[in-house]
């Protein structure tokens, strides 16, 4: 077996974004000419391996295989191939890996991987492609759009940012959310996705008494307009499933709905069918959806109400509830399977590596099911809809039975006391006394009408409408509304109680710390105290400051000197024994009168020909509001001097606070470094150190932060940074300063930066300045960037300037860009500028200057019906990109040259044309063939009618071809102009010939008809083709 790996990918070309097929191969025994392609590039030295993970959680398998990932490495033999592949854009491009046996005549290719490239890198002479399978497509959120809150279908302003929900299949008790409060319109999903139906609408669980359906009106806006205009019946709703909206008859307490989800490509409500539509969102197909729909045919639903739920997690949720799982195969297709409870496994996995990442308790059972209540009601919400007849006591009596009533009473009747017999009359107008009305004769219709059924003396019953009663119309609160109010008051009381408890706890904690000095006794007390409920902790230190100073000092001096007589005369030998001096000191000084604390430590060592000094000092001053820390280290030996220092100063005095930090390291080294210690001392003694050439090395870093309040209306903050390195004649430096300042109604923010690198003969600098300034009448934002590089007499620079400014007079935006080079005293520059002024005019231009010779162009648009485009050049031309040498139009020395032109309408004051000739060529062609019909029998071959603008000299040309079938046959041709003959010619022949003729005619202005005619003796001669060319030359 000879295993071959084939990798096909389609990265993009950076220059034009076009897909560029790439085919890589590795392994095998034969040439790579597989799958109908011969452009495979060898270089894959190992079969790629891919990693995949099975999802498992506290409730068992999650049902999904997480995305595969792996690396493909390609090692080409030619570095140029690697360079060309590295220039392509790989991220996100599709990739397929196939495996096959090259030993077979025609390998059976197996797809080992299908996915996309996550990253591409070139390392170690190889191209490494990090790939992930199509599972990445399923790890994207489903619901991503939100309501804009701009009105109508985007909802009221307080709806802005709310997620637009998505639903599939049968979803129960989905909460309705306010969309347009003024119209009592609610949404249950994304209006852009039509729902199959809205089955039931309920207010705190009580279904609508009736529903009006608003059908699709051709657009979302039109359907919403129709829903707003629709009248929702009392106790019911108007619904528009096509835009997922509901209009309730009044303001509901808690509105929910049972819905049938999105139609999409077709409404579905089986778990596998819903999973198939979800996978399609990510561009992934399902291989066995039909079989799994048959295996789980019952209806299900899925409601997406969060932006975090991905396609994969949604498929998990809908399938696991139906005891199904799914797998994303190597071919990028999803396969759905049933959970098997048979002892014999239906599939097995081979483990390559096992590790423990989490531990979960055993799970003995798992609940399945896919009917979910999307909005669970609270106890208070449920109790608000319980009717009196639903309440039943232990003895079987209902709450309805216990309602008080009075036999014979009139319930709800209202009489007019000013009427003689009351306000009630029968159908004939006779008065009805209240005693004649019983409860059984009065009824209340569902729409609030109070009806009295009155028996007539002659028989029959009259239905008399007494009036209309509606509690909401009367402003009466319902029992449900009262219960909701009681619940809200209870929640408010709980919140107030928690707030009071938290405040009490906060008040029970007390902390303080301070430093107090008693001027009379001179005692200073440093203390800290904390009180938390009944627990108190305190710390105190008392110092006697009557002397106003505490000084602690310790020092050790040790001198061990053994110095022999040192004769610096060169004729004698200097005798240096060990020279050793050590000094160590520590000092603490606390001065109460000066309000300062000084901490200092020194260490000095001198031995033989070297010396080291280390100093650390810290000073705190209350009067100046500063804290200063400084550390120095100095080393001197026979060949160099080194100094390292660090300094930090913190200042807080009055309304100014600042931090200054500096770090410095320097070294001085003689260029002649091979001197012995003896010669060095001799040179020092002779004082010739000034004559030596020194190599100096310095590295320095400094940072300053300052904030100060200048006055009641002025304050500023400044940050400065300085970095510098210098070794001999080579140096590099960075300096930045940033300022934020407010002074009255003026605000300033600015940033300045300088970057510089320098050697003995070369210098490179970058300078930037950014400013933003505003006051009551104006605002200005500007930036300046300057790049400069020089070597000897050669200089290159780039300058960019941008400004945006507005004030009471003008609003201007402008930009200027200049590029310049100077070599040997010659300077060439190019400057481009653009500006926009007051929204009324624009100007853009380019100017070039070579040693004072200026050219360029400028475009102006005043916005007043006029614009200008001006060029300042010696020669202007237009050339073809395919043929640069072809210049059909050019202007040279103020003269325009055109090689060829088509002009629709030309107005000329003075014209100069060679030969006074202007042509407008026309063509006519014979249709079919012509056969001889006898001598003198003329046949029209072709003709053309032309309208001439003026008198013209018309040139006529004709050509054709004869075919002879027997013997010698004579023929003649002629030109006709407006029916008159102007030229005739003829001939005879026995073989095929190509006759032609030319002539001219001075034709008048207007319509003229030009024709070509011929005659031939008989059918043995035939005209097989002919053309007529007409060239009018105007004068």
Strands (E), 278-428: 301-304, 324-328, 334-338
Task: List phi, psi (to 5°) of 884.
Answer: -60, -25
**Percent helix, strand, coil in the chain (nearest 5)?**
15, 50, 35
Q: Which residues of the chain have pLDDT under 70?
A: 1, 50-68, 134, 340-371, 377-393, 399-442, 444-448, 455-459, 466-648, 650-657, 662-698, 912-919, 1035
pLDDT of 881 reads 85
User: Same domain for 166 and 125?
Assistant: no
pLDDT of 583 reads 47
> How far is Cα 372 from Cα 271, in angstroms, rounded to an integer?
13
Has residue 824 been placed in a domain? Answer: no
> How far is Cα 314 from Cα 143, in angstroms, rounded to an integer?
11
Q: Which of 546, 562, 591 is the last residue of a domain?
A: 546
Q: Which of 138, 167, 184 is the last residue of a domain?
A: 138
> How far is Cα 168 from Cα 314, in angstroms, rounded to an integer?
11
User: Same domain for 541 and 563?
Assistant: no
- Under 8 Å between Cβ of 938 and 970: no
pLDDT of 585 reads 53
User: Same domain for 454 and 469?
Assistant: yes
* Cα-based distances in Å from 477 to 159, 474, 481, 794: 27, 9, 6, 91
Residue 388's CB is within 10 A of a number of other CB atoms, namely 12
User: Same domain for 52 and 85?
Assistant: yes
Rg, the chain, Cα only = 50
Number of domains in the chain: 7
- CATH of residue 77: 2.30.110
pLDDT of 586 reads 54
User: Same domain for 946 and 887?
Assistant: no
User: Same domain for 278 and 181?
Assistant: yes
User: Same domain for 577 and 613?
Assistant: yes
User: Which segments of 475-578 does DSSP mark as H helices, in order?
Assistant: 479-507
Has residue 1009 been placed in a domain? Answer: yes
Summarize pLDDT for 386-430 with one digit per residue, the tens. 555 666 667 777 766 666 544 444 444 444 444 544 456 655 666
Has residue 263 been placed in a domain? Answer: yes
User: Same domain for 211 and 272?
Assistant: yes
Q: Which of 338, 359, 390 is the last residue of a domain?
A: 338
pLDDT of 829 reads 92
> How far is Cα 314 from Cα 262, in angstroms, rounded to an integer?
15
User: Same domain for 621 and 705?
Assistant: yes
Summarize pLDDT for 681-702 with one digit per residue, the tens. 444 444 444 333 344 566 777 7
Residue 106's CB is within 10 A of a number of other CB atoms, namely 7
Has residue 494 been placed in a domain? Answer: no
Has residue 364 been placed in a domain? Answer: no
User: Same domain for 159 and 185?
Assistant: yes
CA max distance for the chain: 165
User: Same domain for 534 and 551?
Assistant: no
User: Same domain for 1005 and 932?
Assistant: yes
Has residue 256 been placed in a domain? Answer: yes
Domain enclosing residue 112, as ranges: 3-138
pLDDT of 429 reads 60
Residue 629 host element (H or E): strand 626-636
Has residue 344 been placed in a domain? Answer: no
| Listed residue (304, 301, 385) closest to 142, CA to CA | 304
Q: Residue 750 corresponds to which tokens in the numbers above? A: 């600015």
Has residue 764 been placed in a domain? Answer: no
- CATH of residue 960: 2.60.120.660
pLDDT of 221 reads 94
């Amino acid at each position: 077996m000879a295993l071959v790996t084939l990798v096909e990918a389609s990265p993009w070309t950076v220059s034009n974004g076009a897909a560029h097929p790439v085919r890589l191969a590795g392994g095998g025994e034969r040439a790579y000419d597989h799958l109908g392609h011969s452009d495979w590039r060898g270089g894959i030295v190992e079969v790629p391996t891919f990693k995949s993970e099975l999802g498992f959680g506290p409730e068992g398998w999650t049902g999904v295989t997480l995305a595969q990932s792996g690396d493909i490495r390609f090692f080409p033999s030619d570095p140029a191939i690697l360079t060309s592949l590295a220039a392509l854009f790989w991220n996100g491009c599709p990739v397929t890996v196939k495996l096959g046996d090259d030993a077979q005549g025609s390998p059976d290719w197996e797809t080992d991987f299908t996915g996309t490239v996550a990253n591409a890198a070139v390392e170690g002479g190889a191209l490494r492609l990090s790939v992930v399978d199509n599972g990445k497509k399923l790890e994207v959120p489903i619901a991503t759009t939100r309501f804009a809150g701009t009105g109508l279908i985007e909802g009221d302003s307080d709806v802005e940012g709310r997620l637009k929900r998505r639903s599939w299949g049968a979803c129960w008790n989905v909460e309705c959310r306010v969309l347009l409060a003024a119209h009592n319109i609610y949404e249950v999903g994304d209006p852009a996705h039509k729902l199959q139906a809205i089955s039931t609408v309920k207010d705190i669980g009580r279904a609508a008494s009736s529903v009006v359906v608003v059908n699709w009106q051709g657009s979302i806006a039109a359907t919403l307009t129709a829903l707003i205009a629709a009248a929702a019946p009392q106790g019911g709703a108007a619904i528009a499933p096509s835009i997922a909206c509901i209009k309730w008859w009044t303001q509901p307490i808690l509105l929910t709905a049972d819905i049938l989800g999105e139609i999409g490509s077709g409404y579905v409500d089986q778990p596998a069918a819903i999973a198939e539509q979800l996978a399609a969102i990510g561009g992934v197909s399902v291989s066995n959806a039909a079989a799994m729909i048959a295996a789980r045919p019952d209806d299900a639903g899925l409601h997406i109400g969060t932006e975090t739920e991905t396609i994969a997690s949604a498929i998990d949720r809908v399938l696991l509830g139906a005891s199904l799982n799914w797998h994303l195969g190597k071919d990028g297709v999803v396969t759905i399977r049933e959970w098997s409870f048979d002892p014999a496994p239906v599939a097995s996995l081979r483990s390559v590596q096992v590790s423990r990442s989490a531990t979960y308790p055993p799970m003995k059972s798992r609940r399945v099911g896919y009917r979910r209540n999307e909005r669970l009601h609270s106890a208070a919400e449920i109790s608000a809809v319980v009717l009196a007849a639903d309440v039943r006591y232990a003895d079987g009596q209902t709450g309805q039975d216990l309602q008080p009533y009075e036999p014979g009473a009139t319930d709800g009747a209202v009489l007019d006391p000013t009427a003689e017999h009351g306000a009630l009359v029968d159908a004939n107008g006779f008065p009805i006394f209240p005693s004649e009305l019983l409860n059984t004769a009065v009824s209340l219709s569902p729409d609030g009408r109070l009806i009295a059924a009155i028996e007539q003396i002659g028989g029959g019953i009259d239905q008399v409408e007494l009036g209309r009663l509606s509690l909401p119309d009367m402003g009466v609160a319902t029992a449900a509304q009262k219960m909701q109010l009681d619940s809200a008051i209870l929640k408010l009381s709980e919140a107030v109680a928690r707030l009071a408890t938290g405040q009490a706890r906060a008040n029970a904690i007390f902390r303080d710390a301070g430093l107090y000095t008693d001027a009379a006794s001179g005692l200073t007390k440093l203390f800290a105290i904390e009180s938390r409920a009944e627990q108190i902790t305190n710390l105190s230190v008392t110092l006697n400051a009557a002397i106003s100073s505490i000084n602690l000092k310790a020092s050790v001096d040790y001198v061990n000197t053994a110095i022999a007589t040192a004769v610096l005369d060169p004729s004698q030998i200097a005798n240096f024994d060990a020279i050793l001096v050590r000094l160590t000191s520590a000092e603490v000084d606390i001065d109460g009168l000066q309000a300062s604390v000084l901490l200092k430590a020194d260490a000095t060592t001198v031995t033989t020909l070297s010396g080291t000094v280390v100093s650390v000092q810290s000073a705190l001053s209350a009067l100046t509001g500063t804290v200063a820390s400084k550390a120095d280290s100095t080393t001197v030996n026979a060949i160099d001097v080194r100094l390292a220092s660090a300094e930090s100063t913190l200042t807080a005095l009055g309304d100014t606070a600042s931090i200054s930090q500096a770090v410095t390291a320097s070294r001085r080294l003689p260029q002649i470094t091979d001197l012995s210690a003896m010669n060095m001392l001799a040179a020092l003694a002779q004082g010739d150190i000034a004559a030596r050439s020194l190599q100096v090395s310095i590295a320095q870093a400094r940072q300053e932060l300052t904030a100060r309040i200048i006055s009641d209306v002025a304050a500023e903050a400044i940050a400065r940074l300085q970095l510098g390195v210098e070794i001999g004649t080579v140096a590099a430096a960075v300096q930045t300063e940033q300022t934020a300042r407010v002074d009255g109604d003026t605000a300033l923010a600015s940033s300045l930066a300088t970057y510089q690198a320098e050697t003995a003969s070369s210098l490179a600098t970058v300078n930037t300045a950014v400013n933003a300034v505003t006051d009551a009448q104006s605002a200005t934002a500007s930036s300046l960037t300057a790049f400069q590089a020089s070597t000897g007499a050669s200089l290159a620079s780039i300058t960019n300037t941008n400004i945006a400014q507005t004030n009471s007079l003008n609003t201007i935006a402008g930009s200027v860009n200049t590029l310049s080079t100077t070599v040997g005293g010659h300077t060439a520059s190019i400057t481009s500028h653009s500006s926009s002024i007051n929204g009324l005019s624009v100007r853009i231009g380019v100017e070039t200057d070579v040693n004072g010779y200026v050219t360029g162009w400028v475009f102006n648009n005043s916005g007043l019906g006029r614009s200008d485009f001006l060029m300042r050049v010696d020669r202007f031309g237009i050339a073809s990109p395919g043929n640069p040498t072809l210049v059909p139009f050019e202007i040279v020395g103020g003269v325009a040259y055109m090689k060829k032109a088509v002009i629709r309408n030309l107005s000329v004051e003075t014209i100069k044309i060679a030969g006074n000739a202007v042509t407008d060529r026309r063509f006519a062609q014979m249709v079919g063939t012509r056969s001889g019909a006898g001598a003198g029998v003329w046949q029209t071959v072709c003709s053309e009618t032309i309208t001439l603008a003026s008198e013209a000299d018309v040139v006529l040309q004709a050509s054709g071809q004869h075919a002879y079938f027997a013997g010698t046959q004579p023929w003649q041709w002629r030109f006709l102009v407006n029916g008159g003959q102007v030229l005739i010619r003829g001939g005879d022949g026995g073989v095929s010939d190509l006759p032609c003729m030319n002539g001219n005619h001075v034709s008048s202005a207007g319509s003229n008809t030009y024709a070509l005619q011929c005659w031939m003796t008989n059918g043995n001669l035939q005209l097989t083709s002919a053309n007529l060319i007409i060239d009018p030359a105007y004068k």
